[in-house]
Structure 1
Amino acid sequence: MGTKGKIIKCKAAVAWEAGKPLCIEEVEVAPPKAHEIRIRIIATALCHTDAHVINPKFKEAFFPVIPGHEGAGIVESIGPGVTNVKPGDKVIPLYTPQCRKCKFCLSPLTNICEKLSQVKHPIADQELMEDKTSRFTCKGKPIYHFMGISTFSQYTVVSDINLAKIDDDANLERVCLIGCGFSTGYGAAINTAKVTPGSTCAIFGLGGVGLSAVMGCKIAGASRIIAIDINSEKFTKAKALGATDCLNPRDLDKPIQEVIIELTNGGVDFALDCAGGPETMKATLDCTTVGWGSCTFIGVAPGDNGLNISPETLIMGRTINGSYFGGWKSIDSVPKLVTDYKNKKFDLDALVTHTLPFDKINEAFDLMNQGKSIRTILIF
């Protein structure tokens, strides 16, 4: 008997409240409605954003919720009106929708769809489907979706503007990283900062996003890539991926931005913040050169109150960019990135430090929070 049109019972990781470990629960996943797709998730990875949503400092979260936003799977069934995929297709669910109809999707200037432009917070949005109901139930209670995709569930339901069909021979245990971390860092360097050949770059934070930004800067032809992190154990991998220098602010006797300015005769051409927090944001901006220095903010820390910037900093020729999902128009770009990985344009394997069964998700969170992992892949 097939599952189409029926409720599917499966396991998922539910966050019942902030500050507590996720609970592996049996959940009920309803069939997809019009313009929706139900997906069987094969592999999903952890990102710091998944930790942010359960951090008590993050006030915008909805509970109970099924987190997860970096996954890949196979279409189980489709609702009425779906034309872009069929059952059996391999797909990557996307927290960055692309309707291809709104003024934003029709513009080459942004990858922010109108669906996202209307929300107050990009992490806490898309908590319900289009009809303002959930497709998840657990213990008789509706469970919120997360960023429109909730990949910490063996089955999930997404809108047809929130997924990309990918090559049939794609390795789902690797291309799941294209759903967030890799695309975000790599695209921030390539699309948002537009790193140029021969330039100097500084990258703050060497998690999955930061290391992907290192790859992007190298592929863009940067001549010097300075990688910064408070965990020196990440430096070997950063250098293997293209970093020319590695600095730990805790090992220095002066502010990191001053050291970078000295190393680069006045500051770098491009600086990317992949960590977040006011201190790091300030250092990222301050280490760029007068005249044309470009600063790109990617990371957001929970409870972050932003950054005070003096007008003089910008009047002297520096620019600030923000990057969401690396500037990629999601449905258009993700299949091409999957093909680029297959053609060995970049190395996703280097980002994977652990592979665990899904039931060990809290162990994966511990590894991430302790700085012992870059990306942990969870397999259902």
Structure 2
Amino acid sequence: MADTKSKPIQCKAAVCWEAGKPLSIETVEVAPPKNGEVRVKVLYTGVCHSDLSILNGSLKIGQMPIILGHEGAGIIESVGSGVTDCKKGDHVVMLWLPQCNQCKSCKSGKTNLCDEFLGGTHGLGTMLDGTTRFTCMGKQIHHFLDCSTFSQYIVVPEMSVCKIETSAPLDKVCLLGCGIATGYGSALNTAKVKPGSTCAIWGLGAIGMAVIMGCRKAGASRIIGIDINPDKFKQGKAFGMTEGVNPKDHDKPLHEVLTEMTGGGLDYTFECIGNVKCMIIRVKTMFLDLLKVIRMAKCY
């Protein structure tokens, strides 16, 4: 391929022209990276439910037309001026929630509240300078979470990529951009699962499997996977699940089943579906466990 540095690149991308309509494969032009930006050749991307929610119109983020996708991995094609930590040829994973490491929030450890990202153009569909790098048929195409991995080439801020070892399989590590980090981090960083604890995970998709890995890493003694598709239990056990429960196999309400299984309730529960009914069952299960603790306290 000819040297493309400082030149526009034409490539294929899946463009969402309007919510509620199918993605359209179009030829788009991707401008060169500006100051503090890098241009990445995207080799693999995952499809997150958030992408589907924007496509069907149930989630209102960004502006149309837009190139969706935020679970991507690829190789840096070129860098703009002022880029210090990345170079051409680096293998990277895209970050939809980056951190500048300079603002008050980042320095306090609350990197998910990065002032430069959330206080800037987040959700507006542009780069940090308020402009876009995509055009198609003479029209400006918006970015999605500074990623837009449904395009063969993308331009992102330097802070929106994470360098990885060249030996890491890009078709797998692309999921680190969202799904895996969400589930794994929920167990280790948010819930802070304790060794020997009992955990239950509703929904054994990518996020649920990542929660299982996190619970196993934390040393949980029982990791119960809950799904109406029993075919997922075999894979769940490979990730560290100790037992699986199919709600359809029981006549009793699920919270009662889990309470009996665990001798009173669960220590940690994770809802990885986005189903309100499942969330209510989680609360009931945790509430019964709280009652157990209260009763034990009254015995003293």
Aligned to 1:4: 5
Is 1:242 the counterpart of 2:240 in the alignment?
yes
Structure 2, unaligned runs of 5 or more? none
Provide the secondary structure at the position in 2 that maps to 1:87: coil
Give me the whole-angstrom Cα distance separating, in 2, the residues matched to 1:185 and 1:27.
34
Instruction: Considering fraction of residues, name the structure with more helix.
Output: 2
Mean Cα displacement is larger for which, 51-60 or 201-210?
51-60
2:290 matched to which residue of 1? 290
1:217 aligns with 2:215: yes
The one-letter code of the counterpart of 2:12 is: K
The answer (yes or no) to whether the contact 1:97–1:115 under 8 Å persists in 2 is no
Give the C-alpha shift of residue 276 in structure 1.
1.3
Query: CA–CA distance in 2 between the matches of 1:108 and 1:147?
Result: 21
Residue 54 of structure 1 aligns to a residue in which SS? helix
* Residues in 2 aligned to 1:210 and 1:130: alpha-carbon distance in whole angstroms: 33
Secondary structure of 2:55's partner?
A: coil
The reply to whether residue 45 of structure 1 matches residue 46 of structure 2 is yes
Instruction: Measure the CA separation in 2 of the matches of 1:200 and 1:185.
Output: 17
Letter of the structure 2 residue corresponding to residue 290 of structure 1: L
User: How many residues are aligned here?
Assistant: 291
Q: Does 1:95 align with 2:96?
A: yes
2: CA distance, partners of 1:179 / 1:269: 28
CA distance in 2, matches of 1:192, 1:8: 41
Helix, strand or coil for the counterpart of 2:66?
coil
Shift of 1:110: 5.2
* Residues 300-334 of structure 1, C-alpha deviations (whole Å, 9 max, x = no match): xxxxxxxxxxxxxxxx9xxxxxxxxxxxxxxxxxx
Pairwise CA distance, 1:169: 2.4
TM-score, structure 1 normalization: 0.72
Q: Does structure 1 residue 179 correspond to structure 2 residue 177?
A: yes
Q: Name the aligned partner's letter for residue 278 of structure 1.
A: V
For 2:113, give the aligned amino acid.
I
8 Å CA contact 1:54–1:61 kept in 2: the answer is no
Letter in structure 1 aligned against 2:79: I
Report the equivalent of 2:77.
76
Q: Which amino acid is the alignment partner of residue 53 of structure 2?
A: H
Distance 1:99 1:258, change over 3 A: same
Percent identity, aligned pairs only, is: 52
Q: Distance in 2 between matches of 1:161 and 1:88?
A: 17
Q: Output the CA distance in 2 between the equivalents of 1:36 and 1:167.
A: 21
- Paired with 1:50 and 1:95, the residues of 2 have a C-alpha distance of 12
Offset, 1:117: 4.3
CA deviation vs aligned residue, 1:47-79 (integer Å, no higher than 9, x gap):
222211112222345221111111111111111
On the 8 A contact 1:266/1:290 being kept in 2, the answer is no
- Give the root-mean-square deviation of aligned CA atoms: 2.2
CA contact (8 A) 1:269 1:292 kept: no
- Relative to structure 1, the CA distance from residue 110 to residue 36 in structure 2 (aligned partners, 3 Å threshold; closer, same or farther) is closer
> More relative contact order in 1 or in 2 (CA 8 Å, sep 6+)?
1
1:109 deviates by 4.9
CA contact (8 A) 2:37 2:158 kept: yes
Compared CA separation, residues 160 and 236, structure 1 to 2 (3 A): same
Rounded Cα–Cα distance in structure 2 between residues aligned with 1:220 and 1:2:
47
Alignment partners' CA distance in 1, 2:292 and 2:183: 21
TM-score (norm 2): 0.90
Q: Would you say 1:229 and 2:227 are equivalent positions? A: yes
Give the Cα–Cα distance (whole angstroms) in 2 for the partners of residues 57 and 171 of structure 1: 33
